[in-house]
Amino acid sequence: MVPENGPTILIVDDELPICKNCIKILSGSAAEIDYALNGYDAMKLLEKKPYHIVITDLKMSHMGGMEVLSRIKKEYPDITVIVITGFASVSSAVEVMKMGAYDYLPKPFTPHELRAVVTQAMNHHIIRMQNKQRLSVNKELPVLSHQLVGTSPQIKKVISMVKKVAHTQSTVLIHGESGTGKELVARALHANSTRKNNVFFAVDCGTLTGNLLESELFGYRKGAFTDAHRDKDGIFQIANHGTVFLDEISNISIEVQGKLLRFLDSREFIPLGDTSYRKVDIRLIFATNKDLKQMIKDGTFRNDFYYRIAVYPIDIPSLKKRASDILPIASHFLKQFNQSMGKSISGFDSNAAKRLSGYEWPGNVRQLRNTIERAVILCDSDRISLNELPHLSDIGDIEKLIEYIPETNDELKRIKLEIRQKSVQKIEENFIINALKKNNWNITRAARATGIQRPNFQNMIKKHGIQIPEK
């Protein structure tokens, strides 16, 4: 678990400027940070002091990152390890994750990237330690490990479906809009499976072309194509006994779909340029934000491949469809960013909470996370207010309505009415707040200044949920 005074982090890199830069980036958090310039010194520090997170370089002159990672996983299995390197490749990423690293960060990285991965690693560490503690109390009680936040019926259904299929070897197809948390669900499936101690590898199929995706998944032999100067094992080979998550599966070519279909049936493949089959034991999880059935009709997705991967489909609802989860998720992110930035913001004022709950969140959980991160950076008080949420304006909803083109007279009437109502509501709310501010939030004086009777003015305050600050 994490002490009240914050987590302890050890940075291991043989370049002093890198260590100092990492400390500077993370200095805004409540963490206690040390550094070592080689693996030997790092192991000595680990003997003297408990650490929650170790950030180690992969290539070092004395005891490289691989050995540091291996010894930590053997001697201090509760420590969460992040590997950084300037020699990034898919195979090295898979290898360190297979050895037990939480994540892999290629150099050069931005301050935001480092802070984000440390925040996620700390959250992962806390959940893992909580689950371990629960299991030690009652080893017969199964604990579902996941980072899916919310209590709505929709997310409870997703969690229930994860629980039912996680321990099986079945192929899962996750469907949901962009930003809904498809990878979180995939990671939950892996974390609660018999493969949890082996590698989980996520592949974004949208960033790799057909030939490149095929060579990365299946590997290749020297001379298979122009740039194949050596043999290379693919992700399927290196991730043997683990889980491979193929995101944005709608982007792969028909040809690669056919090869994946054969692989799913036999768990055998032929590396590019080879003539012999390789057999592996991996679980495949697929995800998409597209309508694959429509793609089948359009001839861009194979019918047989769809039915092979859709053994156990899980639909993740958009944040708009589980609005009751918005504030719990926002509070979850607030806690994370409080910790990583060394702040103690207690929550959201009523107007901010109302704005967060009423917004449609087209970017879903990812957009909410980014919004809370920005708000925490901007906030200098005890609670987040509308001042820290300037972009979540009602005007955005009105602009969307204006851009909508109605097709019938009834639709035209409905859109006109909705624009009128939203515009009037916003103008009225701004009118009341402005009058209150000008009169030092005194209701009687504000009502008199605007020429509105006090009871009517008070009803308007109540209607818009405006909170009068305590004096």
pLDDT tens profile 220-258: 888 777 777 788 888 999 889 999 999 999 999 999 999
Residues 60 and 187 in one domain: no
Distance CA 430, CA 423 (A): 11
SS3 content of the chain, % helix, strand, coil (to 5): 50, 15, 35
Residues 161 and 287 in one domain: yes
Range of the domain at 113: 8-137
Q: Is 248 left (phi over 0), alpha (psi -120 to 50) or beta?
A: left
Question: Is 404 part of any domain?
Answer: yes
pLDDT tens profile 341-375: 889 999 999 888 988 988 888 889 988 998 899 89
Question: Is 87 part of any domain?
Answer: yes
pLDDT tens profile 57-76: 888 877 888 888 989 988 88
Question: Is 146 part of any domain?
Answer: no
Residue type, 137: V
Residues 161 and 306 in one domain: yes
pLDDT above 90 covers a percentage of the chain that reads 35
The single-letter DSSP state of residue 310 is T
pLDDT tens profile 420-438: 777 777 788 878 888 888 8
In the prediction, which pLDDT does 145 show?
58
Question: Is 147 part of any domain?
Answer: no
pLDDT surpassing 90 at residue 460:
no
pLDDT tier at 140, thresholds 50, 70, 90: very low
Distance CA 374, CA 415 (A): 32
Q: Give the number of domains in the chain.
A: 4
Q: Is residue 172 classed as helix, strand or coil in its secondary structure?
A: strand
pTM of the model: 0.58
Question: Is 15 part of any domain?
Answer: yes
What CATH number does the domain containing 367 carry? 1.10.8.60
348: phi then psi, degrees, rounded to nearest 5:
-120, 140
Residues 44 and 70 in one domain: yes
Name the H helices within 324-408: 326-341, 350-358, 364-378, 394-403
Average pLDDT, the chain: 85
What CATH number does the domain containing 295 carry? 3.40.50.300
The single-letter DSSP state of residue 272 is B
Determine contact, residues 172/165, Cβ cutoff 8 Å.
yes
pLDDT tens profile 323-341: 899 999 999 999 989 988 8
State how far Cα 132 lies from the chain centre: 23
The single-letter DSSP state of residue 243 is E
Residues 296 and 373 in one domain: no
84: phi then psi, degrees, rounded to nearest 5:
-120, 145
pLDDT above 70 covers a percentage of the chain that reads 89
Question: Is 22 part of any domain?
Answer: yes
In the prediction, which pLDDT does 455 show?
86
pLDDT surpassing 60 at residue 105:
yes
